[in-house]
Structure formats: C-alpha cells, structure tokens
Structure 1
Amino acid sequence: MKTAIMGFGNPVRSDDAIGIYVIEEIQKHIKDTDNISVFDMGTAAFEVLFGLKGHNKIIIVDAVINTNEPNGTLFKVPAEEVLRAPEEDPMVFLHGMKWDQALSYAKKIMQDEYPKDITVYLIAVENTRLEVELSQPVKEAGDKVVNLILKELEIAVN
C-alpha cells in the first residue's frame, strides 16, 4: 500500500502552519521508503496533485478556524462527508486552496485511481497572524497527530 501524507498551511501565519509542522516531524521518522510520500501543500505547486497518482491512501493535516473549540482541539474528519465539488475557477491557486478543494481536484485528476482510504486531521487554531511560531496547544495537538500517523503506518518512534 502506498500512502501520501499532505500537510497544508502557511509557514509564516503562526498556527496555520500546523500541517507543515506535522509533515516535517514525520519526515524525521521516515527512512528510505517507496511506500510513503510526503507533500508540503503550503508552498508546493498545483502539480503536486498529479503526484498523488499511484497512492492507495491519503492522510491530510490542516488547521481549522472558528470551531468554537479550544485552541489545539483535534478533529478526525471523514473526507467524503465534507468533500466539495471543484470550482471551475481558472484563478484558483494552491496558496488559496484548502484540503477539501485539493481533494476535489485530485479526484478529478486521478479519476479511477482516486483512493477510497482518506483520513483528514484538523486542528483548531485561533492565531493566524504574521508569525513563525506555533502556539503550545496547537504544537501539542500536532505532536499527537504525528504519533497517530506514525502508529497507523507502523513506524516506530525513536
């Protein structure tokens, strides 16, 4: 089984960078494997979506605002329940794209190869100001997600 892990976020918008933090932490534990691909969806180009071809599983990590839950609250969301149809907007750029839009476009690109096994982790955030540090509750939630993903992929933590 080939798995793609996608981290969304803006690395200079404080807690919005949590998806990027998670994939950077996961990369520290992945040793030369052809079965796991890690994608930085915060700064990568739209072409990254084509890189999902051949994957049987997708794991997504992103920040979510306005949840009315405490900062750092972790949600595991069934992707298919909230997946929306892609907007046929020629001005859609990845930097403005969120995970649900990315999955919609990936489904369109991959067609029959689109995986059925998709996990979405969302972390409640409040601070998206122009800063490079994560708040402690969001970082702790990110560490929980790292451990959940590593456990799911059966990767031992050093």
Structure 2
Amino acid sequence: MLNMLAIIGCGNLNRSDDGVGVIVAQRLQQYLIQNPNSNVRAYDCGTGGIEVMFLARGCTQLIIIDASSIKDQPGAVYKVPGEELAAVPNRGYSLHDFRWDNAIASGRQIFQDSFPQDVTVYLIEAASLNFGWELSPAVQRAADFVFEEIVKSL
C-alpha cells in the first residue's frame, strides 16, 4: 500500500478556540497548495465525526487536530499516540454523538487493513468555547506550534 497521510482538523469555528483544529487544517491545505505532496491530504471535518472515518480510509497514517477542555493551561498541546486510543469509546445513537474517537474505533473495525493504524492526535487546550470567531492568544500560539510540527514531519 502506498504511504498516504490524512491530516484532519475537527471543531466548530463559531465557538472560539473549539475551531483550532479546523484552522490548522485550513492552513495546511494552503501550505499543500504552495508545496504539493501527492501523499498528503489535509481536510477540514468541522464537527462531522463520520467524515473522519471515510476520509482516513485508504491512508496509512492519520493525524487529527482538535481542541480539548480538560481545564488545563490554555494552549497546552497534547500529542496522543494512537495506542492510547485503542479503547472503543461509548457509542452514541446519533451522528451528532459520533466523534473522531468513534471514527477511529469504527474505521478500524469496518475497514480493517484499509484504515490507518498509525494515528496521532493533537489536542490543544481551549481558553474559551463561547460564541466567537477568534482564537485566544494562547491557543493561536499552540496552533502555530502544531502547524510547524506537522510541516516539519512532511
């Protein structure tokens, strides 16, 4: 299988720092337009967890970027390796409850060898999840860091 990387940003652009994953993915899309790499795709999945599962299908590597809200230092970056995500999360019965963690578990079950086993998730601690379109300064710095770290790995 050809080595393919899917980079997927998740979040809600209308809720301040919750949009950080989408913003990083959009920056990576622009980067890839200027620096084409046929083995890398960047996607903005917003809040559609089911899309994560289908966009990752056929890739050998997957990177997900999303906001977290565990009440830690705003802008803290957690790089979570795929092995940490092996447990199947509680499943919801609606598409609204189907998030990227469900997508990873379900994608592995459904698509098996056609789903990436090499998964990394970047979680960026939010300062605000209130209505708004701007990232807080700490989250913007973290977004810049994650963008640069991913670009260096390409």
TM-score by length of 1: 0.84
Q: Is structure 2 residue 73 aligned with structure 1 residue 70?
A: yes
Q: 1:101 to 1:13 in 2, by over 3 A?
A: same
| Equivalent residue letter for 1:51 | L
What is aligned with 1:61? 65
| Cα-Cα RMSD | 2.0
What is aligned with 1:105? 106
8 Å contact 1:14–1:135 — kept in the other structure?
yes
What is aligned with 2:28? 26
Structure 1 residues without counterparts, runs of 5 or longer: 154-158
In 2, the alpha carbon distance for the partners of 1:89 and 1:66 equals 21
What is aligned with 2:4? 2
8 Å contact 1:84–1:100 — kept in the other structure?
no
- Offset at residue 97 of structure 1 (A): 3.7
What is aligned with 1:51? 55
In 2, the alpha carbon distance for the partners of 1:51 and 1:36 equals 12
8 Å contact 2:10–2:44 — kept in the other structure?
yes
8 Å contact 1:8–1:98 — kept in the other structure?
no
| Equivalent residue letter for 2:28 | I
- Offset at residue 81 of structure 1 (A): 1.3
8 Å contact 1:6–1:38 — kept in the other structure?
yes
Identity %: 36
8 Å contact 1:15–1:127 — kept in the other structure?
yes
Deviations 1:93-118 (A, max 9, x none): 3xx44331221122223212222211
8 Å contact 1:9–1:20 — kept in the other structure?
yes
8 Å contact 1:86–1:101 — kept in the other structure?
yes
Q: Give the 3-state SS of the residue equivalent to 2:32 in structure 1.
A: coil
Q: 1:88 to 1:124 in 2, by over 3 A?
A: closer
8 Å contact 1:63–1:124 — kept in the other structure?
yes
Q: 1:45 to 1:82 in 2, by over 3 A?
A: closer
Structure 2 residues without counterparts, runs of 5 or longer: none
